Structure 1
Amino acid sequence: MPRLPHPTPEQLRRDPLPLRGRTALVTGASRRGGIGHAVARRLAAHGAGVYLHHHVPHDAAMPWGADDPEAVAASVREAQGDPDAPVLTGPGDLSDPAVPAELVDRAAEALGGRLDILVANHALSGSDGTLDTIDAAMLDAHWAVDARSVVLLVQAYARQRQRPRGGRVVMMTSGQDHGGGMPGEIAYALQKGALASITRSLSTTLAEHGITVNTVNPGPVDTDYLTGDAYDAVAARFPSGRWGMPDDPARLIAWLATDEAGWITGQVIDSEGGFRR
């Protein structure tokens, strides 16, 4: 095989809208304080049309409460690089095994008939415990949302791809393989660990279609779930003295969606600012 030529000067110049004309589904983009919202803003700023998935009942049951999905979408529209690219939002309970495929089909149709980028950011919060306190219901609930639904989303995404090359899948894990693990959240850690482990297999499966698959560990990110002394103790474990902000992993995820990251696949990538465990 002949060697590829060096990029031309024109190819080396960065396109300010590297995702113009492309479309993305971001799951778990239901709160303006969350990572999904930050990812959607970055993708929109790069020119992509974006479909924001939400499941308001989940957030309403959490201490941080629910946000208004339309307000989240409006915030993403403020960041649009291409005013003609759509920003849409819709619900979906991903614990239902039929919903991942329905969501992919709905997002693709709403965005003009195809889906180029899938960012599986959603997760189940709560309903977890230590090895001594977990039960089958907790394990099943986290399996359904944190792992099974992600694989079904990737399956549906791969089936609907109409372009022959250049798709992007980004999944999320939580650093449970580092340091002391997550002994207080066994069910969550188990399923997020499964995504890290399946990354290589999915990337190999989809490589012939030009689809890259990567998983991002964002580290501790300030999404409004911790305050007080506990918050300060975590901040002190970063060399910078601050938590990660939602836009920190969002910048990496948005880059992985561009052509510049076309040679990166099958990787679990840490984006956690040197966090010391």
Structure 2
Amino acid sequence: MPEIQHPAAEDLRRDPRPLLGRTALVTGASRRGGIGCAVARRLAAYGASVYLHHHVPHDAAQPWGADPEGPEGVAAGVREARSDPDAVVAHGPGDLSAPEAPAALVATAAEALGGRLDVLVANHALSGSDGTLDEIDADMLDAHWATDTRSVILLAQAYARLRAARPARAPGGRLLLMTSGQDHGGGMPGELAYALAKGALASVTRSLATAFADLRVTVNAVNPGPVDTGYLSGGPHAAVASMFPAGRWGLPDDPARLLAWLATDEAAWVTGQVIDSEGGFRRG
């Protein structure tokens, strides 16, 4: 039998800044109370430079509204979390439902981050504009498909082309997708368009992992479960909290910790997976 080669002792010690010198694009990071901001803060705390994508009109049209301090307020919160004072934290808008927007966003983010992009976190999604089987229509289905699925694949395509164009295919490439609980319990019968779009991302994760393997990029999806981002209150909020063994909702930093870990070298042997981060959430 060949001799097993163990890592050197110093390699086993946890690096407090495992993403130092790397760059990341996080989409859907437009509110300080959202998962995107929490992910960006974690990546910045690990040493990365981060570009924050936002689409303020989407949030402004929702019951919770846009962040009162706007995108710059979100970016300020991410800068506050930086462990490297020289790391870049930049931001810009984009309506990713437009066919040309994903490639433009990848190019803009890479330019702002010094011409390279190591980590892409596709966190954005369309809220609302959905319903039951009896309520949905073609426009609802198309809207969710365009924002929640098509734009993610086009982002992945642009990211792959950017990575392929580099003279050396550096390690550390990560594509991280966000799915939902459409495959658990009773599914999501009240949000069929959203469930379809997110389910497609879960289904394509392994195929993308194979497509990205030659580029030294791992691909994984995370299902964050119910996360308290301010969209429920009162009795409905308490009812959901009671379905967790811990008696509380997930917080934005709960899935952010998993996503940030997947971006590090510690997760270099994890790819093609859909990972639940739900705190033992019990459906039904």
What TM-score, normalized to structure 2?
0.96
Question: 1:48: which partner in 2?
Answer: 48
Whole-Å Cα distance in 2 between the matches of residues 207 and 238 of structure 1?
Answer: 36
1:236 equivalent in alignment to 2:236 = no
After TM superposition, the structure 1 = structure 2 runs for residues 159-178 of structure 1, keeping only pairs within 5 Å, are: 159-161=161-163, 162=166, 163-164=168-169, 165-178=171-184
Long gaps (5+) in structure 2? none
Whole-Å Cα distance in 2 between the matches of residues 18 and 2 of structure 1?
Answer: 31
Corresponding letter in the other structure for 2:44: A
Whole-Å Cα distance in 2 between the matches of residues 3 and 150 of structure 1?
Answer: 43
Whole-Å Cα distance in 1 between the matches of residues 201 and 91 of structure 2?
Answer: 25
Whole-Å Cα distance in 1 between the matches of residues 130 and 219 of structure 2?
Answer: 28
Corresponding letter in the other structure for 1:131: L
1:218 equivalent in alignment to 2:224 = yes
Equivalent position to 2:215, from 199, 204, 209: 209
Whole-Å Cα distance in 2 between the matches of residues 185 and 238 of structure 1?
Answer: 21
Q: CA deviation at 1:3?
A: 6.3
1:35 equivalent in alignment to 2:41 = no
After superposition, what is the alpha-carbon deviation per residue over 1:242-273, rounded to whole angstroms, capped at 9, x for unaligned? Answer: 00000000000000000000000000000010
Count of aligned positions? 277
Structure 1 pair 184/94, CA: closer, same or farther in 2 (3 Å)? same
Question: 2:84: which partner in 1?
Answer: 82
Question: 1:60: which partner in 2?
Answer: 60
Structure 1 pair 10/156, CA: closer, same or farther in 2 (3 Å)? same
Corresponding letter in the other structure for 2:146: A
Corresponding letter in the other structure for 1:33: G
Match of 1:169, SS state, is: strand
Corresponding letter in the other structure for 2:19: L
Runs of 4+ deviating beyond 4 Å = 1-4
After TM superposition, the structure 1 = structure 2 runs for residues 260-275 of structure 1, keeping only pairs within 5 Å, are: 260-275=266-281
Contact 2:26-2:40 at 8 Å conserved across structures:
yes
Whole-Å Cα distance in 1 between the matches of residues 120 and 2 of structure 2?
Answer: 33
Corresponding letter in the other structure for 1:43: L
Whole-Å Cα distance in 2 between the matches of residues 145 and 267 of structure 1?
Answer: 22
Match of 1:276, SS state, is: coil
Whole-Å Cα distance in 1 between the matches of residues 3 and 59 of structure 2?
Answer: 51
Corresponding letter in the other structure for 1:247: D
Equivalent position to 1:122, from 121, 124, 136: 124
Q: CA deviation at 1:166?
A: 2.5
